[in-house]
């Protein structure tokens, strides 16, 4: 636990002093603002319900969250390998799982910071008293969980290779597959269709739950489980690299 | 003590190392020698628990490195070929991070940090960002992270790599200081570095241990080539020594000019020296008004025999120098042998 804290602190402070992170933060907020303006406010005209506008905002923000999660994480291990700093972690009395969890939590915390900076948008809608805090909180929990899966996938891709570009491409492909599993499942029949649809990370678990302000335990468990799965794969990949 | 037994590492199906076995006693400074691809870095990474061996065991201070790698990592400081640095951190911050990763408390790090900055001579750049430092300073920061937790064993992989001559001397002095408190393992291509720093050498070739021992032991092996240099006065025309030599030279009976006499005398002396037991070859170095100089490659120390033969031939022995093989030639011979053995 102590090692996780040490690695978390180092990674989080690295985000805070990296120009890349702040450019990403600026883009994240800009894109969210533009999508809110054009996609949420502009989609239904002046008489649109605030709840619907909020839904559209979360719809757009989830894409930005997935993208930001990937950008924050795909370099985490590959960059360390490329810069040779991974040896410091590998030769310290630190478990591979502590390395992965420390880095994952730092990415998640920075993503949470980005999401917090975008809170002004739903709070503006809240000013009209048409929506509740719980709707906003549930939506933001969804954004964080979607981002969490994205970070775990990025981290796993990063553990696979020392080449950041390759890691980025692998992460993007995996995320595209996860996002479009539901659409893919429509081509199938019977049990496989159900399975693939349930594994989808966006259409089913986000759009039909968190985006609408509905908190389903099933959706939370799904995101936590997928995150855990990819973090576990990352740990096993690190372990395997020592044996190779 | 570090004890490696049948240590083997395979990368995929390719054997990178082993099986090799060796021991390193407490307080020793041991050098790993070998060409590129010999397995030095792999061996050091295995000892530092960066990699896991495919077979064999490593015991570090009584702890099994495979069963308890974390315990071993606490006892070992490792400076890899490329120092594991974070370019966005400052020196003090980085060293504190490295210390905390090695299970030191914040209080321990706070106490130890000034000592490490002092030892590595980094006080002036303690709050400089590592990315702005020169290569020499970065190498020092790398040493700093390796010693921050006061490990008993220190593993330095090519510590002088890429340094300029001044930095090499500074690094050599630093290593010399570190020897006082640590058991040190060094790998280097710079043979003089190893020669000046290490008590004992382990020579690797194609993943196999070719030889181990002190430099003198390796250079003085029975089958080793040693060198004797002699300076002999041959005398002038009419000198009885010259006459003896002339008689011994082949095909010089009809020669009368000075040059031919000198040549015949040279050949005669070479033949004389070549006949000494243990001399494998004789080469003439130079001829001066003082005399003729010859270099003898020998397979044993035969100084007494050489001097006796010269004196018995009624020549003046003006100088005799004996030299064991230089580390470089020893290294080349061993590694060359290893290439054959490896095949």
Across the interface, which of B48, B71, B87 has its CB nearest the CB of A91? B48
A34 CB-side CA count, 13 A: 7
* DSSP one-letter string for B184-245: EEEE-S-HHHHHHH-SEEEEEETTEEEEEE-HHHHHT-TT--EEEEEEEE---TT-HHHHHH
Lowest mean pLDDT among A124-128, B71-75, B137-141, B258-262: B258-262
Measured between alpha carbons, how far is A138 from A124 in angstroms, rounded to an integer? 17
Could you give the maximum distance between any two Cα atoms of chain A, in Å?
A: 62
User: Is A103 strand, coil or helix?
Assistant: helix
Please give the DSSP secondary-structure letter assigned to residue B129.
B
CATH class held by domain B2-219: alpha beta
Q: What is the CA radius of gyration of chain A?
A: 19
Q: Report yes or no: B290 and B267 within 8 Å, Cβ to Cβ.
A: no
Q: Report yes or no: A241 and A158 within 8 Å, Cβ to Cβ.
A: no
**Residues from A in contact with B at Cβ < 8 Å:** 3, 6-7, 10, 14, 17-18, 83-95, 242-244
Q: Looking at chain B, which residue has its C-alpha nearest residue A89?
A: B101
Q: Which of B228, B71, B88 is nearest to B151 (CA)?
A: B71
Nearest-5° Cα angle at B307, B304 to B311: 135
pLDDT at A171: 97
User: B2-16 pLDDT, tens per residue?
Assistant: 999 999 999 888 888
Residues of A in contact with B102 (CB under 8 A): 92-93
> Would you say residue B340 has pLDDT above 50?
no
Query: For A114-122, what is the mean pLDDT?
Result: 91
Tell me the average pLDDT of chain B. 83
pTM of the model: 0.79
If you count them, how many residues does chain A have? 244
User: A173-217 pLDDT, tens per residue?
Assistant: 999 999 998 888 888 888 888 888 888 888 888 888 888 888 999
Measured between alpha carbons, how far is A221 from A238 in angstroms, rounded to an integer? 26
User: B81-124 pLDDT, tens per residue?
Assistant: 999 999 999 999 999 999 999 999 999 999 999 999 999 999 99
| Domain range for A146 | 2-243
- Using DSSP bridges, classify how beta strands B63-64 and B55-60 pair: parallel, antiparallel or unpaired: antiparallel
Q: B226-323 adopts what CATH topology?
A: Alpha-Beta Plaits (3.30.70)
Min Cα–Cα distance to chain B from A244, Å: 6
Lowest mean pLDDT among A235-239, B51-55, B135-139, B178-182: B178-182
Q: What is the ipTM of this complex?
A: 0.89
> Would you say residue B151 has pLDDT above 90?
yes
User: B172-208 pLDDT, tens per residue?
Assistant: 888 888 888 889 999 877 777 787 788 888 988 888 8
Residues of B in contact with A20 (CB under 8 A): none
Domain regions of chain B by residue span: 2-219, 226-323
- Contact at CB, A93 and B11, closer than 8 angstroms: no
pLDDT at B170: 84
In the beta sheet, which residues pair with residue B317? B232
Go through A168-205 and write b for each residue having 16 or more CB atoms within 10 A of its CB, e for each that does not: bebbbebbeebbebbeebeeeeeeeeeebbebbbbebb
> Would you say residue B244 has pLDDT above 60?
no
H-helix segments, A74-132: 78-82, 86-90, 96-117, 120-126
CB count within 10 Å of CB B240 equals 9
Domain count across chain A? 1
**Beta-sheet strand order (sheet of B208-213):** B76-79, B153-157, B183-187, B29-33, B200-205, B208-213
> Would you say residue B258 has pLDDT above 60?
no
**DSSP E strand stretches across B48-193:** 55-60, 63-64, 76-79, 153-157, 183-187
> Would you say residue B270 has pLDDT above 70?
yes
* DSSP one-letter string for B86-112: -TTSBHHHHHHHHHHHTT--HHHHHHH
How is residue A202 written in tokens? 């966006």
pLDDT at A229: 97
B324 vs A96, which has greater pLDDT? A96
């Amino acid at each position: 636990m102590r090692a996780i804290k040490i690695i978390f602190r180092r990674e989080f402070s690295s985000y805070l002093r990296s120009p890349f992170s702040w450019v990403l933060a600026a883009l994240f907020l800009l894109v969210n603002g533009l999508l809110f303006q054009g996609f949420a406010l502009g989609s239904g005209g002046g008489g649109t319900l605030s709840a619907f506008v909020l839904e559209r905002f979360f719809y757009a923000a989830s894409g930005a969250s997935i993208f930001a999660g990937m950008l924050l994480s795909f370099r985490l291990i590959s960059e360390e390998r490329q810069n040779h700093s991974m040896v410091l972690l590998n030769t310290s009395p630190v478990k591979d799982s502590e390395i992965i969890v420390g880095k994952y939590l730092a990415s998640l915390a920075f993503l949470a910071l980005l999401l917090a900076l975008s809170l002004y948008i739903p709070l503006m809608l809240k000013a009209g008293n048409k929506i509740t805090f719980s709707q906003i909180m549930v939506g933001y929990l969804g954004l964080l969980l979607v981002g969490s899966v994205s970070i775990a996938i990025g981290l796993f891709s990063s553990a696979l290779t020392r080449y950041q570009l390759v890691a980025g491409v692998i992460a993007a492909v995996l995320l595209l597959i996860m996002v479009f599993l539901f659409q893919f499942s429509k081509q199938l029949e019977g049990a496989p269709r159900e399975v693939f649809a349930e594994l989808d990370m966006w259409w089913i678990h986000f759009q039909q739950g968190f985006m609408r302000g509905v908190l389903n335990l099933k959706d939370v468990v799904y995101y936590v489980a997928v995150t855990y799965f990819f973090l576990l794969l990352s740990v096993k990949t690190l372990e395997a690299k020592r044996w190779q | 003590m570090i004890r490696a037994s049948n240590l083997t590492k395979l990368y995929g199906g390719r054997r990178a190392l082993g099986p090799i076995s060796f021991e390193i006693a407490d307080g020793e400074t041991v050098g790993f020698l070998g060409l590129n691809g010999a397995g030095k870095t792999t061996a050091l990474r295995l000892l530092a628990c960066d990699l896991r061996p495919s077979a064999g065991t490593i015991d570090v201070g009584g702890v099994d490195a495979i069963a308890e790698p974390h315990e071993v990592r606490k006892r070992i400081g490792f400076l890899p070929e490329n120092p594991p640095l974070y370019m966005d951190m400052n020196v003090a911050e980085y060293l504190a991070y490295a210390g905390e990763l090695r299970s030191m408390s914040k209080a321990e790090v706070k106490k130890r940090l000034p000592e490490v900055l002092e030892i590595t001579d980094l006080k002036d750049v303690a709050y400089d960002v590592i990315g702005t430092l020169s290569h020499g300073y970065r190498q020092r920061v790398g040493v700093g992270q390796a010693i921050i937790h006061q490990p008993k064993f220190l593993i330095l992989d090519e510590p002088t790599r890429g340094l300029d001559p001044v930095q090499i001397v500074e690094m050599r002095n630093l290593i010399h200081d570190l020897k006082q408190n640590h058991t040190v393992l060094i790998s280097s291509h710079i043979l003089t570095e190893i020669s000046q720093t290490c008590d004992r050498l382990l020579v690797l070739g194609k993943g196999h241990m070719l030889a181990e021992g002190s430099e003198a032991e390796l250079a003085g092996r029975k089958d080793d080539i040693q060198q004797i240099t002699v300076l002999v006065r041959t005398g002038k025309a009419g000198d009885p020594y010259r006459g003896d030599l002339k008689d011994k030279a082949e095909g010089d009976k009809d020669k009368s000019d000075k040059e031919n006499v000198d040549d015949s005398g040279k050949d005669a002396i070479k033949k004389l020296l070549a006949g000494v037991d243990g001399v494998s070859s004789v080469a003439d170095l130079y001829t001066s008004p003082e005399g003729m100089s010859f270099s003898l490659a020998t397979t044993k120390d035969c100084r007494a025999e050489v001097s006796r033969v010269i004196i018995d031939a009624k020549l003046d022995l003006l100088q005799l120098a004996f030299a064991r093989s230089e580390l470089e030639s020893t290294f080349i011979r061993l590694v060359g042998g290893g290439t054959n053995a490896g095949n």
